[in-house]
Amino acid sequence: MIVDCAIYRDGHRAQGPEDFSDALAAARAAGGFVWVGLHEPSEQEFGLVSEEFALHPLAVEDALKAHQRPKLEIYDDSLFVVLKPVMYEPHSDVVSTGEIMIFLGDSFVVTVRHGESDGLAVVRHRLEQEPEMLGQGPTSVLYAIADSTVDHYLVVATELQTDLEELEAEVFSPDRGGSRHTASRIYNFKRQITEFRRATGPLALPMARLAGTGAGVFSPPVPFVDDKARPFFRDVSDHLTRVNESVEGLDRLVSDILSAHLAQTSVQQNDDMRKISAWAAMAAVPTMIAGIYGMNFDHMPELHWTWSYPAVIVLMALLELLLYRQFKRRGWL
């Protein structure tokens, strides 16, 4: 559905015609721009918008179907940028992503949002409180959305780091409480980090191109983006680099924690097997002696001796005590 449509002149929201074509003409005549916001539009709704703003059909198809990687594509009449905002639920350790598609032209911005994130309403409200920035044109909208998205990446990365430290403490706790499900928790945590990486990793190149550092010094500037905005996009790119480094560190750490947990489990199993083997060896000695004297042969040494039974019992007890002390000394029991 169409969430909002507004004309901005000199950084201030202005009243204008509701028809997209008339609004665009009015914005161009006044030196402003139109910002149309949509949330999961239908094909019919977006068909009207794409026709009025002459959006490229391939970009329109991507915006309708969603499930795109972060990217930057340049067309004749517009710029198409895909961002993936990330939400994290600490109680369930689940990372979820939405999608924001941005069409940027000479006098218009069309944003298409998929998912439950309400970040665009916050960005629009914040920009309307900063007319000096909003007066820079459509580029300011692209920068504000990218900056808000990447800044939230930093928040999510911090929350993931906190939860991972708790998981690490659980793995290395002396009592290893709840270790029965620890491996599945670690694996699930690794999957969430992978989901986070799918949103942050591919965005590095588009941000570098917008900052003017992604395709070489002599590469042509990105159209529809004001050259004065490059330092601002470099700042966003630097923040994104920090996020990607943090994600890489989290991924390595969770892999190390999983390896440590598996090693602990293996050591614990070895300890259990040694204890079982020690008790089995201790049980084998009296079983062997009882088996020998239970063969019912007539001509066996000490078979008819009066003290045979107590002597065998004492022998068994002494051998058991000797084996127990030996296994105890070696740490098997």
**Per-residue pLDDT at 66:** 85
Total-model pTM:
0.79
The two structure tokens encoding residue 204: 């590095």
Q: Is the pLDDT of residue 202 over 90?
A: yes
| Mean pLDDT of the region 266-295 | 76
- 292 burial via Cβ count (<10 Å: 0-12, 13-18, 19+): exposed
Beta bridge partners of 36: 5, 110
Task: Write out the two tokens for 75.
Answer: 């067309």
- C-alpha Rg value of the chain to the nearest Å: 35
φ, ψ dihedrals at 74, nearest 5°: -110, 125
Q: What is the mean pLDDT of residues 220-238?
A: 89
Q: Specify the 3-state DSSP secondary structure of 112.
A: strand
Which ranges constitute the DSSP H helices of the chain? 20-30, 43-53, 57-65, 119-128, 131-134, 138-171, 182-200, 204-211, 230-292, 308-329
pLDDT given for residue 214 in this prediction = 65
Give the model's pLDDT for residue 118.
66
Determine the 3-state secondary structure of 103 from DSSP.
strand
Q: Taking the chain, what is the end-to-end CA distance rounded to the nearest angstrom?
A: 69
Quote the tokens at residue 287.
Answer: 């079983």
pLDDT at residue 217, as a whole number: 52
* Tens-digit pLDDT profile for residues 131-140: 999 988 999 9
Give the per-residue pLDDT at 180.
63
**Pairing state between β 86-89 and 79-83:** unpaired
Q: What is the pLDDT of residues 91-143, one digit of tens each?
A: 777 898 999 999 999 899 999 999 876 678 889 999 999 999 998 899 999 99
| Contact present, 149 and 83 (Cβ < 8 Å) | yes
Highest mean pLDDT among 20-24, 28-32, 135-139: 135-139
Work out the pLDDT band at 220, boundaries 50, 70, 90.
confident
- Residue pair 104/78 in contact (Cβ under 8 Å)? The answer is yes
Helix (H) or strand (E) holding 1: none
pLDDT tens-digit readout, 296-317: 666 666 666 777 777 778 887 8
Mean pLDDT of the chain: 84
Summarised one tens digit per residue, pLDDT across range 203-214 is: 999 999 998 876
Identify the pLDDT of residue 298.
67
pLDDT at 175: 65
